[in-house]
Amino acid sequence: MDFKILKERFNRLDTACVCDANKRLRVMDPGIRPIDQGIKMVGIARTVHCKNDFLAIIKALSEAKEDEVLVIDAEGDRIAVAGELFTMEAKRKGLSGIVIDGGFRDVRQAREINFPVYARYITPMAGTSTKIFSTQAEIKCGGVSVSPGDIMLGDDDGIVIMNEKEVTEILDTAEGIQQREERVFRKMKEGVSLIDLLNFTEHYEKVSKKEESKLTFII
């Protein structure tokens, strides 16, 4: 599928609905949080490994292409390996985001750029720029494996990672889930009870009898 079309469709989806479509998807550690709220991230992983040093990140940033996300395994260290200058350059090049299992700094300035950045720590202390580490190899970031070319989806709830096969399998289902939840939410805003919108009574009774059942909306 053309990535522009894919991006357009995923931009309309919450990570929660995507996870509901497949509960085996890779989800990053909830300790990796967006530095700002309300920003959506959809992009293609470009991976970096480093530790207390950001030279490899500059290399990855120089080679990165439009719609890519820099996914940085900084081994969870509490040292900043990126800040507002890297963020500004990523936005200038048309990247989709930066994700760091490690530290980030210059948060006030970075928030003004209005660009998706996720990090485990916010800290003023920066690393060095004297060591060579790998890029575009499989890494561990946020407790899950990430490979170059994986699809990255992020919002206020967190980050989901999918390969091409998983994207194909879940996209239609996730869209259906989101549309249904939006209908339920509209009904609740009109005053309808959540219980009246679920098969709760039937489901609870079957579960109590150890019968097969699934909680679902009846709208």
Cβ–Cβ contacts within 10 Å for residue 22, how many? 14
Place of tokens 């930066």: 98
Q: Domains (ranges, CATH) in the chain?
A: 3-163 (3.50.30.40), 169-208 (no CATH)
19-37 pLDDT per residue, tens? 999 999 999 999 999 999 9
As a whole number of angstroms, the distance between CA 58 and CA 163 comes to 26
| DSSP assignment letter at 94 | T
- Determine the pLDDT at residue 98: 98
Residue range 101-151, pLDDT digits in tens? 999 999 999 999 999 999 999 999 999 999 999 999 999 999 999 999 999
Mean pLDDT estimate for the chain: 97
CA quadruple 201, 204, 210, 211: dihedral sign: positive
What percent of the chain clears pLDDT 90, i.e. is strictly above it? 99
Which uninterrupted H or E stretch holds 7? helix 3-10
Q: What pLDDT was estimated at residue 201?
A: 95
d(CA 57, CA 110): 17
Written as one string, the DSSP assignment of 152-216 is EEEETTEEEEE-HHHHHHHHHHHHHHHHHHHHHHHHHHTT--TGGGB-HHHHHHHHHTT------
Give percent of the chain with pLDDT exceeding 70.
Answer: 100
∠210-212-217 over CA atoms, to 5°? Answer: 120
- Kindly report, residue by residue over 173-203, the tens digit of the pLDDT: 999 999 999 999 999 999 999 999 999 999 9
Residues 63-75: what's their mean pLDDT?
A: 98
The answer, yes or no, to whether residue 1 has pLDDT greater than 90, is no
Question: Rounded to a whole number, what is the distance in angstroms from the first to the last CA of the chain?
Answer: 31
Tell whether the model's pLDDT for residue 219 goes beyond 90.
no
Count CB atoms within 10 A of the CB of residue 77. Answer: 19
Burial 125-157 (b: 16+ CB within 10 A, else e): ebbeeeeebebbeebebbebebeeebbbbbbee
| Whether the predicted model's global pTM rises above the 0.85 cut | yes
